[in-house]
Amino acid sequence: MLLIGELIQLRAMEPADLNLLYRWENDTSIWSVSGTLAPFSRYVLEEFVSQAHQDIYTNKQLRLMIDLRYYDEEDGVTEEVRSIGCVDLFDFDPKNRRAGIGVLIANRADRGKGYATEALHLLIDYGFDMLDLHGFYSNVRVDNENSVALFKKLGFEVSGLKQDWLYEQGKYYDEYLLQLIRKG
Q: For position 55, which CATH number holds?
A: 3.40.630.30
The secondary structure element, H or E, covering residue 180 is strand 171-181
Type of residue found at 53:
H
Answer whether residue 130 is part of any domain.
Answer: yes
Answer whether residue 11 is part of any domain.
Answer: yes
Q: In whole angstroms, what is the distance from residue 144 CA to residue 168 CA?
A: 14
Answer whether residue 74 is part of any domain.
Answer: yes
Answer whether residue 7 is part of any domain.
Answer: yes
The answer to whether 61 and 120 have CB atoms below 8 angstroms apart is: no
Answer whether residue 100 is part of any domain.
Answer: yes
Confidence of residue 134 (pLDDT cuts 50, 70, 90): very high
Answer whether residue 162 is part of any domain.
Answer: no
Answer whether residue 160 is part of any domain.
Answer: no
Q: In whole angstroms, what is the distance from residue 151 CA to residue 162 CA?
A: 17
Looking at the structure of the chain, the number of domains it has is 1
Write out pLDDT tens, residues 11-58: 999 999 888 888 888 777 777 677 666 777 877 777 777 777 778 998
Answer whether residue 149 is part of any domain.
Answer: no
The answer to whether 100 and 137 have CB atoms below 8 angstroms apart is: yes
Q: In whole angstroms, what is the distance from residue 86 CA to residue 94 CA?
A: 22
Range of the domain at 96: 2-136
| In the predicted structure, residue 82 carries a pLDDT above the cut 70 | yes
| In the predicted structure, residue 72 carries a pLDDT above the cut 70 | no
Q: What is the pLDDT of residue 178?
A: 98
Confidence of residue 73 (pLDDT cuts 50, 70, 90): low
